[in-house]
Amino acid sequence: MLLRPHHRLITELPALLLLLFTSVLLTEVNAVADSGSQSAGNQITSVVNLQPFKTVQSAEIHMPDGNLAEVTLINLNSNINQWYILQLSDNHKKVVEEYHLENPYPHDQRLTLNENSQPRLALTRKGVAVKDCSSLQLIVKGELETARKSRQIYAPLCNGNIFLRNPTRGHQTTIETVTGFLRDRLPGGESVVGFVKDNFFKDAFLEKAQTKEASHSALPESEPGLPAPADINPDFANQLIFPAGLGLQLKRRAKGVLTGQWYSVQDNPGIFVSLIQPKAIAPAILNSHRNRVNRLDNIESGALAYLIAFDLDRFDLGFTIGTEHPRVGWSNRTRDSVKIKGIPGPDGIETIAPIVANGMISPVDSVSTVATFTGGFKRAHGAFKYGAFAERNRGSHYGFIERGVVLSTLQPELATVLVYDDGTVALKTWSEEDNVNLDRIVHARQNGVPILEWDSESQQPVPGSLVAKWGAGNWSGSHDMKLRTLRSGAALQDSGGKRFLIYGYFSTATPSAMARVFQAYGCSYALHLDMNALEHTYLALYRQKESHLAVQHLIQGMSVLDKTRKGAYIPRFIGYPDNRDFFYLMRRD
């Protein structure tokens, strides 16, 4: 049975809370405004200064009014070669305009500024100049300003060979709007949000599997290239699950799916789905490493978990931050003892400007995108309040990198998703030694500590050392350690010479249940993603079907996060910008 919260209650509850605390909020808004004016004079370091692999070129050009202007081109990571900042300065060397440019073909083309007697901005593809892309066209003739005024999220320049990224506002749900306002503006607002989660959202998405014993004819047909099945209790080997919430169409799905087995997704090669209840996991796994996990209660033992695997031989992984999250300032969890007085965030910045975060897949990447799923925690929850991590590295804020650009520094000992310049995907615990490969990283996203990690001595995966420790592990949930809620996570599995990226949706679970499930599937590493609501655990698949894009969701209820406009269906992350960060998978062929 699929148990869902009363939709009207969830829709109206944020508005009721907002009315309840209106007077307190108005007082707090005024206080924040006053304190902000007092600190306005603080010097803020630009995100550009965080980039260790940037290159900078400058030259003077004659403007149509006869004045000289300085043009500066900054390749934010010359190794990855995707993001540039173009600055225009007046004759007093004051920067008057900044443009964020994106190179959609980083392996084939490069943007440079020729510093000679007649300087020009040049786009070269495989060493050959691309026509109609120069400083004369972009600046003097005003193509840049025209592109900015167009307000297109990705405004094409140079016949579509370069994009100008324009600022936009990302979509957020009513719940996100109000909870964000409470957290940002109301003293004790986090406690109010926590009260709502504990009393109205706990087990709100719990799905209790409908099962029955399978006949021999229900066994799955053998198919090459599938991920390894889960190691399950023999008593559950013939258990059929009938998933009420599954929104994906599977191949060879008759009446139900066998516990722990993988099934191919219809018309989307290289993508597979499996379902399991933690109680079906092999006893040897459930009884292992008891000092690292908590005992599973009856509710989470029977709660259905959905897993979807992607064959990494077929897909590339991308990552994009949202228009609003994750932020780069201090988390409100950060202890005063580790903050640096006078700076607005752990990296010395409060904003990523002049970089533009637009929360949407680029037009070039969207053509081959087959899946998207929500990323990690917001900055508010992306640092440690308790334990050893709270005392070091300024609170150990979760770091992230997009297109080779460091937006928040990667912190040692945190669980990290990595995409390298050769397309390799890795999930690992970041270390100081890993900084030697920083120039090769295209994307990175940290999200706390490992749920599952590789033990070099036993050569086996084991639950992370902090899985059972609420505060030190920063697992969110209640102050009284009520950790059971809707959660999502990501893991890697190596099987049959193949590597699979596995996304897990847990209808209600603690980190301990997540660790046991990923253990059962033989994953080598796993980390938490986000939690508590469908918008935070969203996953969608796409395939081109005749003249339109067919969209399916891992869970049927996730479809409410997409939009329709004038009868047209508009999927999240592809069709409109979002305020949250997300991952996406692109088919290589």
Domain hosting 129: range is 54-165
- pLDDT computed for residue 545 by the predictor: 79
- pLDDT computed for residue 174 by the predictor: 56
- pLDDT computed for residue 565 by the predictor: 78
Largest Cα separation within the chain, whole Å, is 85
CA–CA separation, 467 and 307 (whole Å):
20
Establish if 493 belongs to a structural domain: no
Neighbours of 53 (CB within 10 A): 17
- pLDDT computed for residue 2 by the predictor: 42
- pLDDT computed for residue 535 by the predictor: 94
What's the number of CA atoms in the CB half-sphere (13 Å) around residue 162? 30
CA 26 vs CA 22, 32, 37, 167, 484: distances in Å: 6, 10, 17, 28, 34
Establish if 48 belongs to a structural domain: no
- pLDDT computed for residue 254 by the predictor: 65
Establish if 328 belongs to a structural domain: no
- pLDDT per position in the chain (589 positions), as tens? 444 443 433 444 444 344 333 333 333 333 333 333 333 334 547 999 999 999 999 888 777 677 778 889 999 999 999 999 999 888 777 888 899 999 999 999 999 887 665 667 788 888 788 776 766 566 766 788 899 999 899 999 988 899 999 999 988 665 555 555 444 555 555 554 454 445 545 677 888 878 788 765 455 556 789 999 999 999 999 999 999 899 999 987 667 899 999 999 999 999 999 999 999 999 999 999 999 999 999 999 999 999 999 999 999 999 999 999 999 999 999 999 999 988 999 999 999 999 999 999 999 999 999 999 999 999 999 999 999 999 999 999 999 999 999 999 999 999 999 999 999 999 999 999 999 999 999 999 999 999 999 998 888 999 999 999 999 999 986 555 578 999 999 999 999 999 999 999 999 999 999 999 999 999 999 999 999 999 999 999 999 877 788 999 999 999 988 988 777 889 999 999 999 999 999 999 7
Establish if 36 belongs to a structural domain: no
Taking the CA atoms of the chain, what radius of gyration do you get in angstroms? 25
DSSP string, 497-534: TEEEEEEEEEEEE-HHHHHHHHHHTT-SEEEEEEESSG
Establish if 142 belongs to a structural domain: yes
Establish if 437 belongs to a structural domain: no
What pTM did the predictor assign?
Answer: 0.88
Please, what sign has the CA dihedral across residues 573, 579, 585, 589? Answer: positive
Token representation of residue 535? 């918008």
- % pLDDT > 70, the chain: 82
Contact 539, 505 (CB under 8 A): yes
- Looking at the 3D structure of the chain, how many domains does it have? 1
Establish if 311 belongs to a structural domain: no
- pLDDT computed for residue 3 by the predictor: 41
CA–CA separation, 361 and 572 (whole Å):
10
Establish if 559 belongs to a structural domain: no
Contact 447, 503 (CB under 8 A): no
Closest CA to 558 of 542, 579, 535, 574: 535
